[in-house]
Amino acid sequence: MPRGQFALALIVIGVFAISDLLDGTMARMRGTSGPWGNFLDATLDRVTDGAVFAGLALYGMRADLPWVVGGALFAVVTGQVVSYAKARAEAVGATANVGIAERAERLIITGVGVLLAAFGLSLALPAALWIVGVLGFITIVQRMLHVRGQLRA
């Protein structure tokens, strides 16, 4: 069960994030990237996002912090739909590479909230999670409008 050990969590997540960035870069540099690697990377990104926000939701439940629980759930749902919207756009012959908050921005904002919470600023975590959720929602709307415009043309 999550215990609110935010400093340790940031280190672990940071190591995984760096390795996630490096594996794709290395594959492209070596000329070994392909459809399977792209699929695997995108799928594991969704698993990672789910694990991070589920862990924060569990922490919020354990610590009786409903704003953390709600923010984490809102962030994970909008984050998953942002990714899904891009995949569905590509499936119908459009692109959806638009939006105010891509995955990196959402994780950075969450990381800053976790870091500030580790230093005792308790309102930073729920604020960061709700900001991530709102930015994710805006990104979904931006992608929907962008794809609609492409398909109407």
Neighbour count for residue 105 (Cβ, 10 Å): 15
Contacts of 8 (CB under 8 A, 6+ apart): none
45 is catalytic: yes
Contacts of 122 (CB under 8 A, 6+ apart): none
CA distance readout (Å), 149 to 39, 96, 100: 27, 11, 18
The one catalytic residue in 23, 45, 49, 64 is 45
Catalytic residue annotation: 45
